[in-house]
Chains A and B, each alone.
Chain A
């Protein structure tokens, strides 16, 4: 039988090819509008870093929840490098940001590129260390997970403040950093819901009890995070709505006044809160593979809609390129999830509680 699982070398070469393809499309004269790359990055930046972070958090607190999926989530670590590669491609496109004409101490091209590249590379290295440590067979050391989470928080905060918020400069919302790393964890749990879709059937034959329990845990975590997300979203929205300051509220009003942002807003409210909350309210739904995986997909599309909602008024984009990039990375993600057993062969602490 032909083996479709990636080896680690194959994985990295595929990543390089992927980054080169995207670079070629961006700069090969195929598309006129830049911006699709930034949108893609803000979306996958959360998902990939978040998935590894969920693995790190659960290993750190010795949690029993989703223990059997920890290996799959952690195996996504090579993709962290892809983020850094794609971000490097952003260099010639920085005039997308409104501050590029009037640089400040914090927002200027070299520092912007430098700090973000460093934080992305650090995140990759920390994620790689954590993954390699898990295969070393030594008893698990908290240090690796803590270091990864520190770099994760740093680069997610930069994602919120630099990639997204500075596109609406000088508008600010101090919650953006915290909001986006919480969202990244939410996305990580949604990825474990997808991994369940791939692994549920084979695992049911080997360890049915754990698999059923962990599916339920994914459902419960998705449900909990939908409430947490709604709380954070509301906390941010309420203050802007209530204070009604012209320099602040324009961010919301200009988006809610036009197509397609208004519709996108409904889409992400439904996808990130209302539907997961209602669908997973019952205790039976939390243990149902169809519900959990459908909600996971919905959460990911909700996240995508939210990125579009934030960035669309500020930057141009090319629909076809956007679709292609996201499709390619999604396939890559599924391929890596599928190959997790080869990428992290002897991950003893990962699979045990």
Chain B
């Protein structure tokens, strides 16, 4: 059975976590839940930096290119001069590109977050796990279920 430790304050929780890790329990066996983000945990557990910036950057670039091309190609598709502006009116289309940078960049970051943080978490919904206001460390069994023969 997994062991669960509950803490009411941040200080003892962090000390205990440090203790457990120095006792040699691999960080993969620990599940840590907190009511708010503590950057100390990431350093303690040795988490790699989040890959979210890649989603943001990718979305932003795709949005910029897509937005500009949408405006330019649809204008070229039926080239009618309006308002004395060139068919590909760069300053105006940069604006569309800029807005799409922000839109697609934000949406891609959000999608990336759902993917990386594994949300929506169906098992948490089904097993009625709650988001506690305490600090919780769950230590998984020594014999992890993943050691099945292959």
Contacts and interface: CB of A to CB of B under 8 A. Distances in A.
Question: Do A and B touch each other in the complex, judged by CB within 8 A?
Answer: yes
Contacts of B92: 238, 242
A169 interface: no
A283 B50 CA distance: 13
B91 A238 contact: yes
Interface in B52-81: 53
Contacts of A244: 84
A234 interface: yes
Report whether over half of chain B's contact residues are helix, strand or loop; otherwise say mixed: helix
Most chain A Cβ neighbours within 10 Å, of B53, B84, B91, B95: B91
Contacts of B84: 244
A27 interface: no
Give chain A's interface secondary structure class: helix
Contacts of B85: 242
A239 to B, nearest CB: 10
Query: B interface, how many residues as a size bin?
Result: under 10
A241 interface: yes
Contacts of A171: none
Interface string B35-61: 000000000000000000100000000
Interface in B74-100: 84-85, 91-92, 94-95
A237 B95 CA distance: 12
Contacts of B94: 234
Interface residues of A, number: 7
Contacts of B53: 283
A241 B93 CA distance: 13
Nearest to B95: A238
A244 B84 CA distance: 9
Interface in A228-254: 234, 237-238, 241-242, 244
Contacts of B91: 234, 237-238, 241-242
A244 B91 CA distance: 13
A283 B52 CA distance: 13
Nearest to B83: A242
B118 to A, nearest CB: 25
Interface in B3-61: 53
Nearest to A237: B91
Nearest to A244: B84
A241 B94 CA distance: 13
A241 B92 CA distance: 10
A268 B43 CA distance: 42
Interface string A194-238: 000000000000000000000000000000000000000010011
Interface in A135-189: none
Contacts of B95: 238
Nearest to A238: B91
Interface in A61-113: none
Contacts of A283: 53
A309 B80 CA distance: 35
A238 B94 CA distance: 10
A242 B92 CA distance: 9
A237 B92 CA distance: 11
A244 B86 CA distance: 12
Interface string B93-111: 0110000000000000000
Contacts of A242: 85, 91-92
Contacts of A238: 91-92, 95
Given A241-B91, A242-B92, A244-B84, 4 more contacts: A234-B94, A238-B92, A242-B85, A242-B91
6 contacts: A237-B91, A238-B91, A238-B95, A242-B92, A244-B84, A283-B53
- The 8 A-B pairs at the shortest CB distance, nearest first, are namely A238-B91, A241-B91, A244-B84, A237-B91, A242-B91, A234-B91, A242-B92, A238-B95
